[in-house]
Amino acid sequence: MNSLPKLIQQCKDLAFDLQFTRSREWKAQEEGRVVVGYMPVYFPREIIHAAGGLPVAIFGGGDRKQIIKGDAYYQSYICHIPRSIIDLALDGHTNHFDGYLFPSICDVIRNLSGLFKLNKLGKFVKYMDFPQNFLPEIGGVFYQQEMQHVLHYIKEINGKEVTAHDLNHSIALYNTNRRLIARMYDIRQEFPWRMTIEELYYVLRAGTVIPVEEHNDILEQVVAHMEKEIGEPQDKIKVVVSGAFCEQPAVGLIKAIEEAGCYVVDDDYMLGSRMILGDIDPSTDKPLEAIANAYIHQSQYSSSIYDVHNPKEYRLAKIVQDRGADGVIFASASFCDPSLLDAPIFQKAFDEMGIRYISFQYSENINQFKVIKEQVGAFSDSIKLWEDDKALVIA
Ligand code: SF4
């Protein structure tokens, strides 16, 4: 077993490798291998794996790439991530990718898929609509058809006919992945000092750019370390971070929240890796239906999902309660419509329920956040000083 610092460093290097080197190596190792890039928030990676492909998340350039071409494609009053994604693609960072998938989340991502088509990037580009109808016979069937389209695109490249056995095998691997990630969060809930949120972030983000088998191996080692008594508890409140599911904050900001006095015991930074709660049935003769059913019945709350019968404000409140958190930090990328449109809904409900929160906005390329750190510090101090003022009441 590797040491924890070594594993963390390995994950950090993988997570921020803007040349996507591991996927280049993986593709070169065998004839017919297919690399498929996907954008946040969520994509069922199982189907790409089953088709002999490697799904690779593209989270933008963060604060590590100077944007030149991207600014020519987008107006100033939208978020930053589409500029850095198109810049990465036009500068050849993803020129070994065979295709690109754009899950539906907002108009920005929709337009980005159009720009990829216009620039003839990859052998296929698909904007993938996810169901907003949560009836299995309607939304579920539609979702299965969308997944069939993706499998068809990949088959045109490598000729692989995907069987139920292939899909079940991939589902089982991703089930293991989800279980190990959930275990890390459960350990952190009780012992958040055993691994910082920054380190956890590296470990999860690395998993979005390497084969799931390799990530599972890393996760098993990390969990084994976290199960030991390591680190020293500090006087910090516990918070949940919500709203940062697409464009990612700079790592310095992720780190600053904990440095300012908050243990982050849950978050949605890498929501796509945690979107499905629990296992997907890995032993069925209709695996696409199993994936669709999992999305319909077991998906995490998200700004990309409008499920009128399952209000997200209560779902977030439940997470706060289950994690024993003292409050919520709403962190939204500047101009992120899905996140910013949800914020007032959450905040109104939380005012009524007595859940304390603060909110701020960020941009992936901004590494100056003194004001945010002071705000978070004041939030933490106020909770420590007036801890018993409000009781949590979830309707
Ligand atoms: S950050 Fe928000 S607005 Fe921008 S692409 Fe992502 S979901 Fe859309």
Confidence of residue 395 (pLDDT cuts 50, 70, 90): very low
What is the rounded average pLDDT for all residues in the chain?
Answer: 94
| d(CA 339, ligand 1 centre) in Å | 8
Q: What is the mean pLDDT of residues 356-369?
A: 91
Is residue 230 a contact partner of residue 4, using CB atoms and an 8 Å limit? Answer: yes
pLDDT, tens digit, for every residue of 58-94?
999 998 888 988 899 998 899 999 999 999 999 999 9
- Would you state the pLDDT for residue 271? 96
**Any idea where the domains of the chain sit in the sequence?**
20-160
* 11-36 residue pLDDT tens: 999 999 999 999 999 999 999 899 99
Mean pLDDT of 292-313: 89
Asked whether residue 303 carries a pLDDT value surpassing 80, the answer given is yes
Residue 340 has pLDDT above 90, yes or no: yes
The phi-psi region of residue 175 (left if phi > 0; otherwise alpha if psi is between -120 and 50; otherwise beta) is alpha
Q: Rounded to whole angstroms, how far apart are CA atoms 122 and 100?
A: 7
* Alpha-carbon gap, residue 356 to 350, rounded angstroms: 7
Q: What percent of the chain has pLDDT over 70?
A: 98
Question: Ligand 1 mean position to 81 CA, how many Å?
Answer: 7
- What is the pTM (predicted TM-score) of this model? 0.95
Q: Rounded distance, CA 302 to CA 342, Å?
A: 9
Q: 337 alpha carbon to ligand 1 midpoint, in Å?
A: 7
What pLDDT, on the 0 to 100 scale, is given for residue 391? Answer: 46
Please, what sign has the CA dihedral across residues 176, 58, 274, 185?
Answer: positive
Using an 8 Å Cβ cutoff, are 196 and 258 in contact?
yes
Would you report the helix, strand and coil content of the chain in percent, each value rounded to 5? Answer: 50, 10, 35
Alpha helices, DSSP H only, in 40-80?
45-50, 70-73
Residues 271, 237: Cα–Cα separation, whole Å: 23
Protein residue with its CA nearest to atom 3 in ligand 1: 336
The most distant pair of C-alpha atoms in the chain lies apart, rounded to whole Å, by 63
Å from CA of 245 to ligand 1 middle: 9
pLDDT in tens, 169-214: 999 999 999 999 999 999 999 999 999 999 999 999 999 999 999 9
Is pLDDT larger for residue 394 or for residue 40? 40
For domain 20-160, the question of CATH label 3.40.50.11890 is answered with yes
Query: Looking at the chain, how many residues does it have?
Result: 395
CA of 208 to the centre of ligand 1 (A): 18
Task: Tell me if 134 sits within 8 A of 151, measured CB to CB.
Answer: no
As given in the structure block, the two tokens for residue 76 are: 């100033």
**Ligand 1 lining (C-beta closer than 6 Å):** 79, 81-82, 105-106, 108-109, 246-247, 333, 336-339
* Strands (E) located in 221-348: 237-242, 262-266, 327-333
Confidence tier at 389 by pLDDT (50, 70, 90): low
Which residue's CA lies nearest to atom 2 of ligand 1? 336
Residue 369 has a pLDDT of 85
Neighbours of 160 (CB within 10 A): 16
φ/ψ region of 20 (left if φ > 0, alpha if ψ in -120 to 50, else beta) reads: left
